[in-house]
């Protein structure tokens, strides 16, 4: 686990600017039974890893965008995404402390980023796969699940944290579409077709992961669990409102010059689904990374 405090006044100033109005006061959760608090504590601890993984992935993306001489506004947007995910890491850690603390949990935040880039993979292809798979697909799909967790949560302080993360994630999904619009025209037709295919596979895989993890159980009112019906209710509501939530992936080529927003909410459950998104050509990469996050990075 990373060090979260500092005696350096300059560093504290940057922390204060990043956190803004993030909730600080610990709520009284003594009315909830031990089983509910413990289930929610582990769920939120797993989210710490997932949020921090996004810091690493988006930091790599920013480096790639500098190498590709992407526009200043595009780089500013990704810079903001990194800050958001770092703030989310602190917020999720704070919720774990509210629920009983980090004692008894081994949280390893080392090496949570993507597998190293192959020598044959260009910076452009790597960047667009991160944008398409980690932002356009993963952020959009996690939005729907987050809305389900937020709706199931009745504890006001924890619901407020979910609301704050949700607002950021909606913006992140829109940024992914805008980044794709700026850069995808540089890919040849074959690479665009390949990217469309893996994005479609990832979206289907994420739906399966979210549904499989929606098993109910203790901790529901504290943001620790949802049921399958909670997710299905979100999807039905979005369809009635005209928001497309089908598995068919829009053509990557059709995103050129079009910056469209994402959906409407993100998973708060252990956001292992993001880690499970298969990144490169090997189909088992996501499953392997998912196993690493569950077995190595957060343990009882």
Domain count, the chain: 1
Which CATH number is 278's domain given?
A: 1.20.1260
- Give domain status of residue 290, yes or no: yes
Is 83 a member of any domain?
yes
Residue 19: inside a domain: no
Domain-located, residue 26: no
Residue 8 within a domain: no
Name residues of the chain where pLDDT drops below 50.
248, 258-300
Each residue's pLDDT tens digit, 155-189: 999 999 999 999 999 999 999 999 999 999 999 99
Residue 62 lies in a domain: yes
The answer as to whether 27 is a domain residue is no
Domain for residue 15, yes or no?
no
pLDDT on residue 13 = 77
Task: Please tell me the distance from the alpha carbon of residue 275 to that of residue 289, in angstroms, as a whole number.
Answer: 6
Give the per-residue pLDDT at 11: 75
pTM of the full structure: 0.79
Report the pLDDT value the prediction gives residue 290, as an integer from 0 to 100: 36
Q: Is 111 left (phi over 0), alpha (psi -120 to 50) or beta?
A: left
pLDDT of residue 250: 56
pLDDT number for residue 286 = 35
Q: Which domain holds residue 61?
A: 33-111+120-299
């Amino acid at each position: 686990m990373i060090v979260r405090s500092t005696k350096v006044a300059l560093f504290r100033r940057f922390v204060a600017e990043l956190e803004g109005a993030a909730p600080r006061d610990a709520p009284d959760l003594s009315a909830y039974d031990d089983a509910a608090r413990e289930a929610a504590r582990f769920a939120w601890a797993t989210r710490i890893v997932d949020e921090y993984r996004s810091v690493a992935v988006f930091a790599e993306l920013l480096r790639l965008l500098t190498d590709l001489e992407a526009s200043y506004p595009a780089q500013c947007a990704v810079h903001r995404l990194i800050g958001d995910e770092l703030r989310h890491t602190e917020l999720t850690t704070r919720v774990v402390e509210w629920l009983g603390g980090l004692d008894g949990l081994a949280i390893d935040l080392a090496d949570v980023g993507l597998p190293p880039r192959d020598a044959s993979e260009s910076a452009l292809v790597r960047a667009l796969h991160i944008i398409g798979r980690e932002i356009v697909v993963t952020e959009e799909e996690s939005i729907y699940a987050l809305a389900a967790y937020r709706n199931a949560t009745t504890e006001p302080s924890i619901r407020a944290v979910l609301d704050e993360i949700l607002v950021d994630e909606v913006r992140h999904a829109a940024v992914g579409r805008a980044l794709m619009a700026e850069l995808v025209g540089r890919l040849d037709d074959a690479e665009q077709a390949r990217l469309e295919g893996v994005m479609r596979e990832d979206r289907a895989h994420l739906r399966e992961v979210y549904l499989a993890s929606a098993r109910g159980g203790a901790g529901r009112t504290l943001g620790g669990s949802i049921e399958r019906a909670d997710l299905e209710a979100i999807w039905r509501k979005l369809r009635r409102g005209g928001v497309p939530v089908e598995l068919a992936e829009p053509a990557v080529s059709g995103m050129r010059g079009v910056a469209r927003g994402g959906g409407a909410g993100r998973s708060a459950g252990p956001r292992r689904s993001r880690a499970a998104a298969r990144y490169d050509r090997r189909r088992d990469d996501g499953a392997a990374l998912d196993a690493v996050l569950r077995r190595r990075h957060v343990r009882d």
